[in-house]
Amino acid sequence: MNWIKIDNDSYGTILIAWVICAVLIYLAAHFIKNAWVSLPISALLVVFMVFITWFFRVPNRETPLTDNDQLVTSVADGKVVIVEKVFEKEFLQQECVQISVYMDFFDVHCNFWPITGKVIYYKYHPGKYLLAFHPKSSEKNEHSSTCMENSHGKVFFKQIAGTFARRIVCYSEPGKMEYRGDQCGVIKFGSRIDLFVPLDADVKVKVGDKVRAVESVLAVLPD
């Protein structure tokens, strides 16, 4: 039997949710004498307990062409909401193609390295909690920034918190070698990934596309 793997950094969040739901179920059973009211409330709370556990699942995904270091795969599950040329001013200091993926409540929220390469930059930015699809969320919201490099170029990405997200976990350590498809962190609840690739990269997605972390190729780096 294949058990669902749960993100290691999310057990505390799950435990808190379970304790709160358990207390509410007890209160409903104790104080609401009408079973037609208390039982549906309890059932909904149990469903929520199952959902919150499932929400922090870590999927088992197959990494395409592991020997091809030019592939840039999606950091997260979700919908492509931005594909445009921008000036990346935090670290790269140059024009790039930005590819943004928005995650809703039902998407996997674990994140995965987009390329095989060395981490050359990492910074955590505290901030606000605007809606993740808000244009200013990438600058004003809580987020972490990471840049990776291999022989084909640099890939820069941001894990951006959304309105309901209050914690970003990122495994980036400058100087460490990481491998495409391995987990790089998790964003709790609604959120977004902004990824920046070189202008001469071959972008493979467009706005509106649904992508899957690890499996969907967002771009191909130049030779």
Active-site positions?
191
Residue in 22, 1, 3, 19 with CA at minimum distance from that of residue 11: 19
- Quote the distance between the C-alpha of residue 105 and its chain's center: 11
Going from the C-alpha of 194 to that of each of 12, 53, 80, 191, the distances in angstroms are 27, 26, 10, 10
The pairing of strands 78-88 and 210-211 is: antiparallel
Residue in 52, 68, 59 with CA at minimum distance from that of residue 111: 59
CB-CB contact of 192 with 102 (8 Å) = yes
Q: How far apart are CA 168 and CA 144, in angstroms?
A: 7
116's tokens: 């095989």
